[in-house]
Every structure is written in structure tokens, then in C-alpha cells.
Amino acid sequence: MNIIDIARLAGVSTATVSRALNGSDKVRPKTAAHVKRIIAKVHYVPNTSARVLRVGKSMLFGLIVSDIKNPFFPELIDKFEALAVQQGIDVIFTHTNYDPARQAHALRRLVERNVDAIAVMTSEISLKGLEAVKVVGTPMVLLNQLELAPNFNNVAVDYISGFGEAVAHLKELGHRGIGYLAGPASLSSALCRTKAFHAAMQAARLPVKKQWIAVGDFHIEGGYAAMTQLLRLNNPPGAVIAANDMMAVGALQAANALKVPIPKRLSLIGFDNLNACTMLTPSLTSIAVSRDEIAVHAFEMLFRESSAKRKSKAQLHTIQTRLITRQSTGRPVK
């Protein structure tokens, strides 16, 4: 069942069927209605591949994320997809599991699918695959890839002020010794956060002790191990900031296991403000990053660029954070 069949059934040309289908104003309303009635009757479904081939626009956006199991991403995906559907755009979704090779592969597949734009919302760094996008000229937006900001659109989280708030909060509570659970060095977002932690400590004129920094994997397990490492020191820090909430969850469990009461003996701050923060006991103080805001700005950059006639310069949008204080932070007890 194709447009020729419909044309025959309706007694018109395929051009007229096409116009009726696309709501062109160059069809007599009565003709359009007649055609549409027939289309509905026989359940005709137009072939999008043919349309895309002809028109050159696919009305498809690609969305690549690192890790759909980290609750950070589903909220971002949710919003991004909602915005797309509002514009009649479908989303091909894929995830890399933090693997740069998978990211390059994903990028290539999306370009082959003729997607109109690509949001690369991943934490890992990878330049491979970008050339394919560049050659084809598909609009693209990256997340926190500031070193690529001159050439590619970016949505970036203001980590500096985020960690600044967290450190200031702890300092105000009376903490001087602040430890840090870092993310893996392979992720650009982890590196950004570590850098921001150092900057925040310096701004607060607090010393960073090397043995108070432990490296985790951005997951619960790594947070548990890293926190355990710090708590076993002879002089553990009285406060710890985790580079993300998942590691903070592990840190909380480690403190429980070692009978270190929170916040009495240990103040803990996470990053991301996942829903889980309120589910924990004690509830977790965290630095909030709006996933909706990331999605909105990423989508709008792409939508604007994919609708524009001419290529525009790379944009950068910075997302502000907000500290949400809960039960896991308090005054240190001597």
C-alpha cells in the first residue's frame, strides 16, 4: 500500500495525496478531506524513508549518553525526548557505557541514519568519530567538553561554583578538614569535578590533604571502597564531598559499616541531587544540577541549528548548580 494506490483509490494524483498528507494549503479542503478519509479507511501509513530520502531532513535526533543506569541520565533523556516529540522529532537513543569506542561507533551509526542533530551527553572523552559528523555537518552538542568548546556546542555545568557552595557550607558549619571522593580519571566530568574541588578549597583558604583524596569509580562500590580508605586513616577528615551521589551512597554505607555516625562524626555531601538523596537515612546533602535544564538547552541548540539556513558559531551554555542541605551535614562534634 503506497501513495500510488491511494491516488488511484481517491481518483487524484500522487501529488495531491502528498499535499493532503502534509497539510499543504495548495489543496482544496474538500479534496484533502476526501483523500484523508480514504487514507484512514485503508490504514495507509506513509513511508518515512522515502520522505527522508527526498526531503533530506529526517526529523530524527540522536541522543548518546554514558550510562542509563545512573539515574542522572534517565531524567535528561525523559526531558529531551519530550521536547523532541513536541516538535514531531523522534529520538534514536544509544548509550556508551563510558566506552569511547562505542561512542565513536554510535556517532557513525547516527550519521548514517541521517539524523538532523546529535546530543552527545557523555562523560567520557573521545575525539574519534567526530570527523564523520564534521564532514557531514550534522549539528551536535556536547556535555562538559570545554576543551572542545571553540569548535562544538557545549552545555557545561558550573562545577566551580557548585563545589564552592559545598565547601562554603562545610566551612560555615565549622569544618576545616575536608576530604574528597574523586571519580575515575578516564572521565572528563570526573576531571572537571576534581579541578573544581581544588579551586573551591583554595578559594575557601582550606588546605587540601593528599591522603584525604580517594579515587572511586562513580558507582556505589567505588564510593564504599574510597570512603572506607579515608575512614581507616589515623586522622580521617570530618567532612567529605563525593564527586557524585552514587559514590556518596557507597560512602554512607561504608560509614554505617564502620559505625561512624553521620553527621555527628562525618559530614557528607554528594553531587547531582538524585532522587535517592531523600530516600537515604540520613538524607543526603547534595549539589543539585538540573537535568531538565541540560536537556532543554541541548535540545534548543540543536533545534535552532538544524532549522537554520547557515552554520552558526559554536555556542556554550553554562548550567548553575544549587546546594540542597539535608541531614548528612552538620557541625563537627569534637
Helix or strand run (H / E) with residue 77: helix 72-86
Give the integer Cα–Cα distance in Å for 270 and 223.
Answer: 11
Cα three-residue angle 301-71-211, rounded to 5 degrees: 105
CA distance 76 to 259: 36
Is 18 near DNA (CB under 7 A)? yes
Which of 48, 211, 312, 320 is the binder for a copy of itself (CB under 8 A)? 48
Q: Would you count residue 47 as binding a copy of itself (CB under 8 A)?
A: yes
Altogether, the residues listed in the chain come to a count of: 334
C-alpha cell at 259: 559505625
Comparison of 95 and 175: residue with beta carbon closer to a copy of itself: 95
DSSP-assigned beta bridge partners for residue 324:
286
Cell of residue 329, nine digits: 551535614
Q: Which residues, other chains included, contact 2 with Cβ-Cβ below 8 Å and sequence gap of 6+? A: 47
Distance CA 265, CA 333 (A): 6
Q: How far is CA 259 from the centre of its chain?
A: 35
Q: Is 2 in the site for a copy of itself (CB under 8 A)?
A: no
Smallest distance from the beta carbon of 316 to a copy of itself, in angstroms?
26
What angle, 0 to 180 degrees and rounded to 10, lies between the N-to-C axes of helices 3-10 and 29-41?
A: 120
User: Please, which residue, 34 or 108, has the CB nearer to a copy of itself?
Assistant: 108
Residue 46 binds DNA, judged by CB under 7 A: yes
131's contact among DNA, a copy of itself, none, with CB below 5 to 8 A by partner kind, is: a copy of itself
- Contacting range for a copy of itself; rule: CB under 8 A; set: 25-33, 263-271, 279-287, 306-314: 279-287
| Binding-site partner at residue 13 among DNA, a copy of itself, none, CB < 5 to 8 Å by type | DNA
Please name the residue that has the C-alpha cell 573551591.
200
Question: Which range touches DNA (CB under 7 A), out of 46-54, 121-129, 136-144, 201-209?
Answer: 46-54
C-alpha cell at 62: 540522536
Candidates 10-18, 166-174, 238-246, 262-270 — which segment interacts with DNA by CB under 7 A? 10-18
The binder of a copy of itself chosen from 5, 14, 34, 71 (CB under 8 A): 71
Long-range contacts of 40-46 (CB under 8 A, 24+ apart): 42/1, 42/5, 42/6, 42/9, 43/1, 44/1, 44/5, 44/6, 45/1, 46/3, 46/21
Piece in contact with DNA (CB under 7 A), picked from 48-56, 94-102, 145-153, 191-199:
48-56
User: Interface with a copy of itself by CB under 8 A: which range of 93-101, 119-127, 229-237, 300-308?
Assistant: 93-101
Nearer to a copy of itself, 64 or 241 (CB): 64
Cα–Cα distance for residue pair 102/124, rounded to 1 Å:
11
CB atoms within 10 A of CB 250: 24
Contact call for residue 137 and a copy of itself (CB under 8 A): no
Q: Which does 41 bind (CB under 5 to 8 A by kind): a copy of itself, DNA, none?
A: none
26 binds, among DNA, a copy of itself, none (CB under 5 to 8 A by kind): DNA
Assess 75 for contact with a copy of itself (CB under 8 A). yes
Chain residues in the site for a copy of itself (CB under 8 A) = 1, 43, 45-50, 52-53, 58, 60, 68-69, 71, 73-75, 77-78, 81, 85, 90-95, 105, 108-109, 111-114, 131-132, 135-136, 220, 249, 253, 256, 275-276, 279-281
